C-alpha cells in the first residue's frame, strides 16, 4: 500500500507541476499580449517601489489592526466629512455598525446623516455573481442598495462588469480627498463578523483583518482610482482630485489589479499589484512575512520556492499566517505548502501557522482575512489582494505599498506581539530569525502536539494542519485554466 500511495503522490505532483506550468505559460502570454510581459521577468528588485505605479513622497501611513482599530477610525473620518465620502467595497450591509458602543448608528444612517449636511456620498459595490452560486447574490446586492438610497441622498451603484467567476474585491474609503483607507475590511457581517480585537476573545468565528489610513499625496491616487471606476459605472464625471500637501515622511505606491477588457480607463488592464509583490519578494534577503487568506498563486509560490532552495542568507526566514480553513482554495493552499516544505528540505526556514481564540478550555477559530506582506522590515503592502489567481489577474483589487522601514518594522512588531502574546518591546530587541526559531516555532509546534494528543491548547498560535500534496493542489491551476481569459 505504501508503494501505491507514493506512486499516487508522485503522479499527482507531476500532474500538478504540469498544470501550473500551463497556467503560468498562459499568464505570460496574456500579459505579453497586453504589454505587461515585463512583470513576470526576473529582475527589477533593486527598487522595491519601481515598476509602472507612481511613487508619492510625503505621506503618513498608519496600519490599523483588526476591526477594533480600523472600523472606528473609518467611522470617525466619515462623521467629520465636509465635502464627500466615496466608498468602494466588495459588499456592504446597510445595517452594519462601524462601532459597537451603545447608540452607534448603522452604516446607512451614518451615511444618510452626513449626506443630510450636504456631503456627497457615493457607494460603489459589486453587483454579485450573474447566477446565485455564492454570496452576495445580485438580489441581496440590489436589496442593500435600496436600503442605502431610500429616503437618503446617498448614491449607491452596483458594478456588474466583473470577469466570469470573479468579482470587485477592493475595499476603499476616501473622505474629502484628504484621507483615504485601503485594506481588507468589508462593511458587512456576511460570512463573518468583522468586529474583533487583538485579544481575539472566543466567539463563533474571530476575524483578523487590516486596513491602512493614508494622508498626503497618495490620497489623490486612491481618489483617482475611485473616480475612474465611478465615472464609467455611474456615468457621472467627477472632478480630478487635487493632490494633498505632504503629511509625513513615507514614500507610498498605489498598486492595483484591474483586469483587461473591463474598463475603458484601462483597456489592457493594470497588474501593478502582481508587479509589486514579485519585485519585493525577489528582493528579500532576511525575512518574508505574509498574512493572507489564500496562498495558491503559482507565480508567488515560484519566488518563495526559489528563495527556500537557495536562501540569500543563513538567517533567511519565511513566516506565513493563513486561515485554518479558507472559504475556498484550502486544499490548493496546502498543496503549495507541501511544495514549499519540500523546498525547505528540513532546514526550518519556513514556518506556516494559523491562529485561534482561547479562554481557558474554550476555543474558537480566528479567520485570517488580512492581506499583508512585509519584506526585510523595509517594504510593506496592505490592501484587498489575496495571493491567488483571482486577486492578481482577474478581480479588481487595491493595495498600498511603502518602503518606509519604520512603518514596516512597527507593523510587524505589533502583529507579532498580537500573535505571540508578547510585548512588542521584547520582540524589538531580538533578531527576527531568533524570534521565529525560539518563539514562533516552539509555540506553534507545542500547540500542534497538544492537538495531536487530543489535549486542550493553551496558546492561540499553532502550526497550519493538513499540509498535503495530493489532488487538492490541482484545484488552483484547473480553476485558473477554466475561468482565466
Residue 442: phi and psi, rounded to 5, are -60, -40
Q: How far is CA 292 from CA 39, 217, 332, 354, 476, in A?
A: 21, 28, 14, 10, 16
The residue ranges of every structural domain in the chain are: 2-53+253-483, 55-252
Residue 95 has a CB neighbour count (10 Å cut-off) of 12
Dist CA 25 CA 267 (whole Å): 22
Q: Which CATH number fits domain 2-53+253-483: 3.30.450.20, 3.30.870.10, 3.40.190.10, 3.40.50.1100?
A: 3.30.870.10
Q: How many other β-carbons are positioned within 10 Å of the β-carbon of residue 236?
A: 12
Q: What is the model's pLDDT at position 361?
A: 73
Alpha-carbon span 1 to 405, nearest angstrom: 53
* Beta pairing class for 206-208 and 250-257: unpaired
Contact 231, 238 (CB under 8 A): yes
Q: Judge contact between 34 and 224, C-beta under 8 A.
A: no
Is residue 400 helix, strand or coil? strand
Nearest CA to 247 among 213, 288, 282, 198?
213
Q: Which of 252, 222, 240 is nearest to 58 (CA)?
A: 252
Report the C-alpha gap between 437 and 169 in whole angstroms.
36
State residue 467's pLDDT score: 59
Model pLDDT, residue 400: 98
Cell numbers representing residue 282 in the block: 525577489
Q: Which residues, given as ranges, of the chain have pLDDT below 70? A: 1-6, 8-9, 43-46, 327-335, 359-360, 466-485
Please say whether the structural domain 55-252 has been given the CATH code 3.20.20.80: no
123 pairs with which residues across the strands? Answer: 87, 156
Q: What is the pLDDT of residue 324?
A: 87
Spatial separation of the C-alpha atoms in residues 31 and 278, rounded to whole Å: 14
Hey, do 2-53+253-483 and 55-252 end up sharing a CATH topology, with the first three levels equal? yes
Residue-level pLDDT at 475: 60
Query: pTM value?
Result: 0.95
Confidence at residue 480, expressed as pLDDT on a 0 to 100 scale: 57
DSSP 37: G
Judging by DSSP bridges, how do beta strands 317-321 and 350-359 pair with one another?
parallel
Question: How far apart (Å, rounded) are the C-alpha atoms in residues 312 and 216?
Answer: 35
Residue 258's pLDDT is 98
Enter the C-alpha cell of residue 181: 483607507
User: What pLDDT, on the 0 to 100 scale, is given for residue 33?
Assistant: 97
Q: What is the DSSP string of 150-215?
A: TTSS-EEEEE--PPTT--B---EEEETTTEEEEES--BS-TTS-----TT---SS-EEE-EEEEEE
- Among residues 238, 236, 266, 287, which one has the least CA distance to residue 397? 266
CA distances from 408 to 257, 284, 302, 389, 417 (A): 22, 14, 24, 26, 14
Amino acid at each position: 500500500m505504501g508503494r501505491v500511495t507514493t506512486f499516487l503522490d508522485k503522479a499527482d505532483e507531476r500532474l500538478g507541476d504540469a498544470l501550473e506550468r500551463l497556467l503560468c505559460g498562459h499568464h505570460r502570454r496574456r500579459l505579453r499580449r497586453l504589454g505587461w510581459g515585463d512583470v513576470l521577468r526576473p529582475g527589477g528588485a533593486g527598487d522595491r517601489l519601481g515598476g509602472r505605479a507612481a511613487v508619492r513622497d510625503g505621506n503618513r501611513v498608519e496600519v490599523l489592526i483588526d476591526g477594533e482599530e480600523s472600523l472606528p477610525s473609518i467611522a470617525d473620518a466619515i462623521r467629520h466629512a465636509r465635502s464627500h465620502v466615496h466608498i468602494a467595497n466588495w459588499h456592504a450591509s446597510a445595517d452594519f455598525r462601524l462601532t459597537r458602543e451603545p447608540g452607534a448608528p448603522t452604516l446607512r444612517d451614518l451615511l444618510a446623516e452626513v449626506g443630510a449636511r450636504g456631503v456627497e456620498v457615493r457607494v460603489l459595490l459589486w453587483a454579485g455573481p450573474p447566477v446565485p452560486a455564492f454570496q452576495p447574490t445580485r438580489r441581496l446586492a440590489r436589496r442593500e442598495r435600496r436600503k442605502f438610497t431610500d429616503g437618503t441622498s446617498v448614491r449607491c451603484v452596483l458594478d456588474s462588469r466583473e470577469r466570469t467567476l470573479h468579482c470587485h474585491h477592493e475595499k476603499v474609503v476616501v473622505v474629502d480627498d484628504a484621507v483615504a483607507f485601503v485594506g481588507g475590511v468589508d462593511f458587512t457581517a456576511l460570512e463573518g463578523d468583522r468586529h474583533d480585537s487583538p485579544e481575539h476573545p472566543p466567539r463563533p468565528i474571530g476575524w483578523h483583518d487590516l486596513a491602512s489610513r493614508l494622508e498626503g499625496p497618495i490620497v489623490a491616487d486612491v481618489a483617482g482610482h475611485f473616480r475612474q471606476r465611478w465615472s464609467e459605472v455611474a456615468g457621472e464625471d467627477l472632478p480630478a482630485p487635487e493632490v494633498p500637501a505632504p503629511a509625513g515622511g513615507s514614500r507610498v505606491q498605489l498598486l492595483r489589479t484591474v483586469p483587461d477588457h473591463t474598463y475603458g480607463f484601462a483597456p489592457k488592464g493594470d497588474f501593478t499589484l502582481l508587479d509589486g509583490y514579485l519585485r519585493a519578494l525577489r528582493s528579500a534577503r532576511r525575512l518574508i512575512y505574509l498574512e493572507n487568506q489564500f496562498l495558491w498563486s503559482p507565480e508567488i509560490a515560484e519566488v518563495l520556492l526559489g528563495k527556500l532552495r537557495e536562501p540569500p542568507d543563513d538567517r533567511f526566514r519565511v513566516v506565513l499566517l493563513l486561515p485554518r480553513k479558507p472559504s475556498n482554495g484550502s486544499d490548493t493552499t496546502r498543496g503549495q505548502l507541501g511544495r514549499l516544505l519540500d523546498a525547505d528540505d528540513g532546514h526550518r526556514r519556513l514556518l506556516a501557522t494559523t491562529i485561534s481564540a482561547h479562554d481557558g478550555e474554550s476555543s474558537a477559530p480566528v479567520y485570517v482575512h488580512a492581506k499583508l506582506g512585509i519584506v526585510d522590515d523595509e517594504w510593506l503592502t496592505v490592501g484587498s489582494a489575496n495571493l491567488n489567481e483571482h486577486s492578481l489577474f482577474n478581480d479588481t483589487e487595491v493595495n498600498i505599498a511603502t518602503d518606509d522601514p519604520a512603518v514596516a518594522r512597527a507593523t510587524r512588531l505589533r502583529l507579532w506581539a498580537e500573535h505571540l502574546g508578547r510585548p512588542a518591546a521584547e520582540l524589538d530587541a531580538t533578531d527576527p530569525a531568533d524570534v521565529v526559531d525560539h518563539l514562533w516555532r516552539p509555540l506553534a509546534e507545542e500547540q500542534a502536539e497538544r492537538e495531536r494528543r487530543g489535549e486542550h491548547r493553551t496558546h492561540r498560535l499553532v502550526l497550519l494542519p493538513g499540509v498535503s500534496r495530493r489532488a487538492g493542489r490541482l484545484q488552483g491551476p484547473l480553476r485558473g485554466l477554466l475561468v482565466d481569459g
